[in-house]
């Protein structure tokens, strides 16, 4: 369907005002981008920034509802910002700088799962939903991993004290080697899998390009999120290999008599365990928490931004999901 340009009247409308600079989005001006009388777009029109003529919106534009009265939509989907969300938005006005399809799918993902009405597979909503789950999984896994590694370090240090019964020391060593270290390696493998399963960098870039947030804010926050994920990946490999080294060296020494032990091997195992625990603490408290906070900030921002631009969304064409 092609858009029809709305006719302009010769008379200046009563709501026209004097402005300077580019004509704001939602208005049309005589000169488009100079000092001129500006007129507000009608409800069924769309005006990009700097436009001289409004565009008539298509007949099948966004279905309206009442958010304040919790009006239910005909398709049973939720009513958010006075628009039914159970439809898959496609931008009809090409000169609209706010990509409604991408941005709206992001905030609507907070209310529905992949495969629900309005959130079909391979859509922006589904992508955002997967991204959100990945960030939550990274946070949970790294938090558990940090607790396990601190506990393993504590047990390893206790086993060095000669005041404990030899059987108790042996029990602590075996607890560390066959339980805690194994659990730690499994969690680290899971962290690396989750960190690499989503293409954070490309998705983040598409978020910035879409203009879902103020560009400068979005760039800083999204850039921070991508950097945090990169550090989580790098530190995850360090932790994984240190965990293997610590487990192998400990296994080599544990169970041997004093006369058979190689000086320094057990000490090396403990040092690697301490390093792994230290890296895990930094990984969780700086980069993992930072990534989650950045992602939550972006989620809240796009949710608020979607409400701001909704008054212009009457010129958005919707197709069934």
Q: For the chain, how big is the Rg over CA atoms in Å?
A: 29
Burial degree of 14 (CB within 10 A; 0-12, 13-18, 19+): exposed
Q: CB atoms < 10 A from the CB of 7, how many?
A: 8
pLDDT of residue 7: 37
Query: Going by C-beta distance under 8 Å and a sequence separation of 6 or more, which residues neighbour residue 144?
Result: 187
Q: Of 224, 229, 167, whose CA–CA distance to 195 is shortest?
A: 229
On whether the CB atoms of residues 194 and 86 are closer than 8 A, the answer is: no
H or E element, residue 168: helix 166-175
Q: Of 52, 275, 46, 62, whose CA–CA distance to 156 is shortest?
A: 275
Grouping H, G, I as helix, E, B as strand and the rest as coil, residue 14 is coil
CA atoms within 13 A on the CB side of 224: 18
**Strands 83-84 and 79-80, sheet pairing:** antiparallel
| pTM for this model (two decimals) | 0.59
Question: Angle CA(185)–CA(158)–CA(243) in degrees, nearest 5?
Answer: 15
* Rounded Cα distance, 274 and 77, in Å: 52
pLDDT of residue 237: 94
Grouping H, G, I as helix, E, B as strand and the rest as coil, residue 89 is strand
pLDDT of residue 211: 57
Over its length of 321 residues, how does the chain's per-residue pLDDT go in tens digits? 333 333 333 344 444 445 467 787 778 887 656 555 788 877 667 777 778 888 766 544 556 677 666 555 665 555 655 666 554 444 333 434 444 455 555 555 555 567 665 566 766 667 777 778 888 889 999 999 999 989 988 888 887 787 778 788 778 888 888 888 889 999 999 999 988 887 777 776 666 665 555 555 556 677 788 888 889 999 999 999 998 988 887 777 665 555 555 556 767 778 888 888 899 999 898 888 988 888 877 766 655 544 444 433 444 444 333
Q: Of 74, 80, 44, whose CA–CA distance to 59 is shortest?
A: 44
Which residues of the chain form beta strands (DSSP E)?
17-19, 27-29, 36-40, 45-46, 55-56, 79-80, 83-84, 87-90, 317-320
Q: Average pLDDT, whole number, for the chain? A: 69
Beta bridge partners of 89: 318
Query: Going by C-beta distance under 8 Å and a sequence separation of 6 or more, which residues neighbour residue 320?
Result: 87, 88
pLDDT of residue 168: 84
Beta bridge partners of 38: 17, 29
């Amino acid at each position: 369907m092609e858009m029809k340009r709305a006719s302009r009247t010769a008379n200046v409308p009563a709501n026209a005002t004097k402005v300077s600079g580019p004509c704001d989005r939602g208005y049309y001006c005589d000169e488009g981008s100079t000092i001129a009388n500006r007129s507000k777009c009608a409800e069924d029109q769309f005006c990009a920034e700097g436009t001289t003529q409004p565009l008539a919106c298509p007949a099948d534009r966004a279905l309206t509802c009442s958010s304040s009265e919790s009006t239910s939509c005909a398709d049973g989907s939720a009513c958010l910002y006075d628009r039914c969300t159970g439809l898959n938005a496609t931008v009809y006005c090409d000169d609209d700088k706010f990509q409604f399809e991408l941005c709206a799918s992001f905030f609507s993902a907070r209310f529905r799962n992949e495969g629900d009405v309005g959130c079909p597979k391979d859509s922006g909503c589904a992508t955002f939903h997967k991204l959100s789950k990945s960030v939550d999984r990274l946070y949970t896994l790294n938090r558990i991993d940090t607790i396990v590694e601190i506990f393993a370090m504590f047990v390893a240090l206790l086993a060095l004290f000669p005041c404990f019964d030899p059987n108790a020391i042996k029990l602590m060593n075996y607890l560390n080697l066959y339980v805690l270290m194994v659990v730690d390696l499994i969690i680290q493998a899971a962290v690396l899998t989750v960190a690499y399963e989503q293409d954070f960098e490309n998705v983040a870039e598409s978020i910035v390009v879409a203009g879902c947030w103020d560009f400068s804010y979005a760039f800083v926050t999204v850039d921070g999120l991508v950097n945090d994920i990169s550090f989580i990946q790098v530190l995850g490999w360090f932790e994984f290999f240190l965990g293997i080294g610590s487990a192998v060296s400990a296994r080599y020494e544990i169970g041997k008599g004093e006369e058979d032990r190689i000086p320094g091997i057990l000490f090396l195992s403990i040092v690697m365990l301490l390093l792994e625990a230290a890296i895990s603490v930094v990984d969780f408290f700086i980069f993992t928490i930072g990534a989650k906070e950045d992602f939550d900030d972006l989620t809240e921002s796009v949710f608020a931004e979607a409400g701001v631009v909704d008054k212009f969304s009457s010129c958005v064409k919707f197709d069934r999901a």
